Structure 1
Amino acid sequence: MTTAEDTTPATFEDAWHDWHREREQYYGDPLGWVSLTGLYWLTDEFASVADLPGRWRADADAVYVEGLDGTERLQPVEGAPGLLVDAGDRRIEVIRRTGSVALRVHDPESPHLKTYQGIPAYAPNQRWRVPGRFTPHPEPSVVTTGAVVEGLEHHHTAVGVIDFELAGTALRLVAFGRPDGSLHVLFTDATSGVSTYPAARGLGVDEPDADGAVILDFNRASNLPCAFTDYATCPVAPAENRLPVAVEAGEKNPR
């Protein structure tokens, strides 16, 4: 997160470049998001899946694998990071989304990983560090969004709204809560589908101060995994967070 120490041009730019390098390294991990080579949905009947070892099936309670080491039972959690199963140099990630179960395959020899060239981004500029005011909801509420995979849903805990101004326009974003008190927003803007990924970008926001003051540093507007791979199941931005202005800051579309 950007802190008060990052506000002079030199330290601000240095901090951004450090953040950007970490982001590029994260996505370039040999078993990370860019290494994905497939997304396979399971049924309630045992079946072979692509060239993966074993036979797989899923029901409302668990995932069952025949042939790896007897019959193994796995219990992926709805919406959570997947459970990992070793398959030689590859990793099989078992996920549950909107009640259905899928396998994602991470392969260090993925052709996508071999052509990965980092994350294009707008040059950092302090004018995109924008003050805002957070107003909490009386009670958290659930906001349901669609996903980049048709038929899936994501459920987010909305804790309030952030009011701010860009290009002379008063704007508002619905903010989701995190356990540490910080906030997260998913948004689109007039660059979405042009120079940035169309479904959504994410932005972390430090915990508001006692008066609700926050800083929205759009220089750190981030791609979701679905910007890098067709095998992610990311949410789209809620309708309330579709900004009518162009946010020419942060990460661009990598594909």
Structure 2
Amino acid sequence: MKITVKSSRYYFSPVLLILSVLFSCDSQKKESELDEVYLNSLSSYRETLAEKSRMEYLQLIGRYQLFPDQQNYIGTRPDKAIMVEYEDFPEELGMVHFTPDSLIFVSAGFLFETADGSSDSTVQLPRTGWFRSEDYQYGRFSWHFLNREGNFFLRIRDHEHPEAMNFKGYHWFEPNAEFILDGEFIYFDQPLIEEVPSTLDFKENSVFIGQVKFNYRDETYTLDVGEEGFTTFADETSADQTYGAGRYLYITLPEKNGPVQVDFNYAYNPACIFSEFTTCKFAPPQNRLPFKILAGELSDPIDTGMAGVH
């Protein structure tokens, strides 16, 4: 179901400015060999995914739903509402309860570290207006809270998780000039909200601000695009060579309707390929492309013993 909502036009953000540098290449060379500057940029991007942002996903040890109508005690003891079955995790971490307006976490008598380096023993968050909280850390473990359509979750990480420490990344297709495509981006008159499938037991809302149109082998295709140029797509490699539910991609957007570049060499796996404890939105039906995109990240890991999620 699509719902039209009133909103102001979305323009460049600092994220897009960074991406525009990262994704830069000479479009005149698309039919010849990719130049060294482009290849170095792509290589740096891949290393960043494997060495930095992905560590968090592989460090996850659990995701637990929080219920507003009860006191959610957290720890390893069987009498806890949220029993964390993990070696070396604290016997008692604390308790989460809800008021009509807030989510409140109270530790089990210890101080934990917040994102700004300060110490605290309680957290109070509003029940609306946020997607993910900051991280809170105690020893080798950290945790944060998720808000998904009014459903709340606790997610816990082990910063010494051996799988994360040994992770080398996933294989990629070889850089492929055929999948650096010129397109045109058109902003919707008003952003659209659409329910899309996710890894959770309910559909989540995605906001689409416009559509990119591009040609591939004399056929025209489109992708609906979200805020900051983020899009999810699936293609005929999905569930075979690449992750089954699709991949993610950023497109550097113009300030107004105009030309863009769609570079599928930068397509990457969603977080849910790494862990069952992540949350991922899947590609909507209109973003399923009827051909193979032989570019971007693959679904088989590099020499780690990880099976991956297909």
Question: TM-score under structure 1 normalisation?
Answer: 0.87
The partner residue of 1:126 within 177, 188, 191 is: 177
Deviation at 1:223, TM superposition (A): 1.4
Matching residue of 1:156: 206
Deviation at 1:144, TM superposition (A): 2.2
Matching residue of 2:41: 15
Q: Secondary structure at the match of 1:120?
A: strand
CA distance in 1, matches of 2:191, 2:207: 6
Matching residue of 2:96: 56
Count of aligned residue pairs for this structure pair: 248
User: 8 Å contact 1:56–1:65 — kept in the other structure?
Assistant: yes
Deviation at 1:79, TM superposition (A): 5.7
User: 8 Å contact 1:63–1:75 — kept in the other structure?
Assistant: yes
Q: Secondary structure at the match of 1:24?
A: helix
CA distance in 2, matches of 1:225, 1:62: 28
Q: Secondary structure at the match of 1:117?
A: coil
Q: Are residue 216 (structure 1) and residue 267 (structure 2) matched?
A: no
CA gap 1:211/1:141 in 2 versus in 1, 3 angstroms? closer
Matching residue of 2:149: 98
User: 8 Å contact 1:79–1:98 — kept in the other structure?
Assistant: no
User: 8 Å contact 1:27–1:34 — kept in the other structure?
Assistant: no
Q: Secondary structure at the match of 2:174?
A: coil
Matching residue of 2:11: none
CA gap 1:68/1:203 in 2 versus in 1, 3 angstroms? same
Deviation at 1:143, TM superposition (A): 2.2
CA gap 1:132/1:54 in 2 versus in 1, 3 angstroms? same
Deviation at 1:68, TM superposition (A): 3.3
Q: Secondary structure at the match of 2:45?
A: helix
Deviations 1:189-246 (A, max 9, x none): 1111111111221111112376611110000001121121111111111111011111
CA distance in 2, matches of 1:227, 1:138: 35
Deviations 1:42-88 (A, max 9, x none): 12312333255112334663323344359834216566233322222
Quick one: which amino acid aligns to residue 223 of structure 2? L
Deviation at 1:102, TM superposition (A): 1.0
CA distance in 2, matches of 1:60, 1:191: 46
Question: TM-score under structure 2 normalisation?
Answer: 0.73
CA distance in 2, matches of 1:59, 1:146: 30
Q: Secondary structure at the match of 2:226?
A: strand
Deviation at 1:115, TM superposition (A): 4.3
User: 8 Å contact 2:188–2:211 — kept in the other structure?
Assistant: yes
Matching residue of 2:58: 34
The partner residue of 1:166 within 216, 222, 234 is: 216
CA distance in 2, matches of 1:5, 1:136: 25
Quick one: which amino acid aligns to residue 21 of structure 1? E
Quick one: which amino acid aligns to residue 186 of structure 2? T
Quick one: which amino acid aligns to residue 141 of structure 1? L
Deviations 1:123-174 (A, max 9, x none): 1122210011112212222122121122141x22212211112233321111
User: 8 Å contact 1:35–1:109 — kept in the other structure?
Assistant: yes
Quick one: which amino acid aligns to residue 105 of structure 2? V
Q: Secondary structure at the match of 1:14?
A: helix
The percent of aligned pairs where both chains have the same amino acid is 23
CA gap 1:79/1:235 in 2 versus in 1, 3 angstroms? farther
Q: Are residue 89 (structure 1) and residue 114 (structure 2) matched?
A: no
Deviations 1:12-59 (A, max 9, x none): 211111111111112454xx1211011111123123332551123346
Q: Are residue 3 (structure 1) and residue 28 (structure 2) matched?
A: no
Structure number with larger C-alpha Rg: 2
CA distance in 2, matches of 1:130, 1:169: 12
The CA RMSD over aligned residues, in Å, is 2.4
User: 8 Å contact 1:149–1:233 — kept in the other structure?
Assistant: yes
Q: Are residue 233 (structure 1) and residue 233 (structure 2) matched?
A: no
User: 8 Å contact 2:24–2:38 — kept in the other structure?
Assistant: no
CA gap 1:211/1:103 in 2 versus in 1, 3 angstroms? closer
Matching residue of 2:305: none
User: 8 Å contact 1:125–1:219 — kept in the other structure?
Assistant: yes
CA distance in 1, matches of 2:184, 2:102: 43
